[in-house]
């Protein structure tokens, strides 16, 4: 299962993605913002799904109003 990533691995941080706490993952899954595979009680993600989730949540800096 080399292509599948567990929530614990995501919470520890993988590759070039920031760590995403398990509670945040749970909320994102329940809001259907993060795709996942569930087999029994286990949850798995693909790297691309995680990357898409992170990119969708990037907030751009806004110039300060005078």
Q: What angle do CA 22, 59, 10 make, to 5 degrees?
A: 20
Q: What is the pTM of this model?
A: 0.82
For residue 61, tell me if it sits in a domain. Answer: no
CA distance 56 to 39: 26
For residue 33, tell me if it sits in a domain. Answer: yes
- State how many domains the chain has: 1
For residue 2, tell me if it sits in a domain. Answer: no
CA distance 28 to 10: 13
pLDDT in tens, 36-45: 999 999 999 9
Check if the beta carbon of residue 54 is closer than 8 Å to that of residue 25: no
What residue has token string 């989730």? 53
For residue 64, tell me if it sits in a domain. Answer: no
- Would the pLDDT of 25 be above 50? yes
For residue 63, tell me if it sits in a domain. Answer: no
For residue 21, tell me if it sits in a domain. Answer: yes
Provide the domain limits for residue 40: 7-56
For residue 16, tell me if it sits in a domain. Answer: yes
For residue 62, tell me if it sits in a domain. Answer: no
CA distance 23 to 29: 10
């Amino acid at each position: 299962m080399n292509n599948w990533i567990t929530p614990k691995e995501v919470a520890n941080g993988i590759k070039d993605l920031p760590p995403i706490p398990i509670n945040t993952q749970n909320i994102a899954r329940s809001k259907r913002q993060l795709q996942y595979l569930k087999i029994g009680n286990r949850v798995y993600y693909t790297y691309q799904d995680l990357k898409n989730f992170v990119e969708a949540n990037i907030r751009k800096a806004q110039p300060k109003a005078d």
